Amino acid sequence: MKAKTTFLNLLLIASGVEVPFEFSHAERLLNMKNSGWALPENSKYLFENGKLVTKKQPRGGDSESDTPTSEN
């Protein structure tokens, strides 16, 4: 039995085309300086400190909070 392979789309900035890559390869591409690849705006991942991390989903099923936040 094979292990499940995770793919995610990366955006080629120059042309705006999204291309699927295996998770570890996508991470390597994003680590390269001036590679021309980025995560699309609608990605469920973030690239932080050289690693891909999953965005946390808000609790309660609502994507926006009714409580205003202070940004001082």
Query: pLDDT truncated to tens, each residue of the chain (72 aa)?
Result: 778 888 999 999 999 999 999 999 999 999 999 999 999 999 999 988 888 888 766 666 555 444 444 444
Question: Which tokens is 15 given?
Answer: 């042309």
Instruction: Give residue 41's domain range.
Output: 7-54
For residue 11, the surrounding DSSP H or E stretch is strand 7-12
Whether residue 13 is contained in a domain is answered as yes
pLDDT of residue 40: 94
pLDDT of residue 6: 87
Whether residue 15 is contained in a domain is answered as yes
Whether residue 11 is contained in a domain is answered as yes
pLDDT of residue 9: 95
Contact 55, 46 (CB under 8 A): yes
Whether residue 32 is contained in a domain is answered as yes
Counted domains in the chain:
1
Exposure string over 61-72, b if 16+ CB within 10 A, otherwise e? eeeeeeeeeeee
SS3 (DSSP) at 30:
helix
Whether residue 70 is contained in a domain is answered as no
Whether residue 67 is contained in a domain is answered as no
